[in-house]
Each structure stands twice: as C-alpha cells, then as structure tokens.
C-alpha cells in the first residue's frame, strides 16, 4: 500500500473513532482541537453561542 493510501485509511479511522470531549467528558468528541484534544459538536456550538 502506498503512503497516501495509508494516510487516507488512518484519517478515516480517526474520524470514526469517538474521543472524550474536553467539556462534557462524554465519548462524543469528534472535532479535533489544536492541542490534540477533542470536543463534541454540541459543546462547540454552545461555546460559539457564548462567544462575544
């Protein structure tokens, strides 16, 4: 398998995996943050609603 194919497979697996959300601590974190942690879409929406 070539390197680009391996990268694509790895990305697909990472997208399918559920990670712990840094806000609500549930295994629904699907959005990666810059520091390598994850946040769920609901918490991200709530945070954007609270932003000035």
pLDDT of residue 9: 65
pLDDT bucket at 4, cuts 50 / 70 / 90? low
13 in any annotated domain: no
Instruction: Flag whether 41 is in a domain.
Output: yes
Q: How far apart are alpha carbons 33 and 47 in whole angstroms? A: 13
Residue 5 maps to a domain: no
Within a domain: 30: yes
> What would the pLDDT profile of 19-48 be if each residue is shown by its tens digit?
899 999 998 888 899 998 999 999 999 998
Q: Model pTM?
A: 0.60
d(CA 30, CA 37): 10
Hey, how many other C-beta atoms are within 10 angstroms of the C-beta on 38? 19
Whole domain around residue 32: which residue ranges?
A: 19-51
- Our count of domains for the chain comes to 1
Token readout for 5 is 């194919």
Taking residues 4-28, report their average pLDDT: 75
């Amino acid at each position: 398998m070539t390197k680009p194919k391996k990268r694509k497979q790895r990305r697909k697996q990472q997208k399918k995996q559920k990670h712990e959300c840094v806000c609500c601590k549930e295994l629904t974190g699907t959005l990666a943050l810059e520091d390598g942690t994850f946040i769920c879409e609901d918490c991200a929406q709530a945070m954007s609603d609270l932003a000035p």
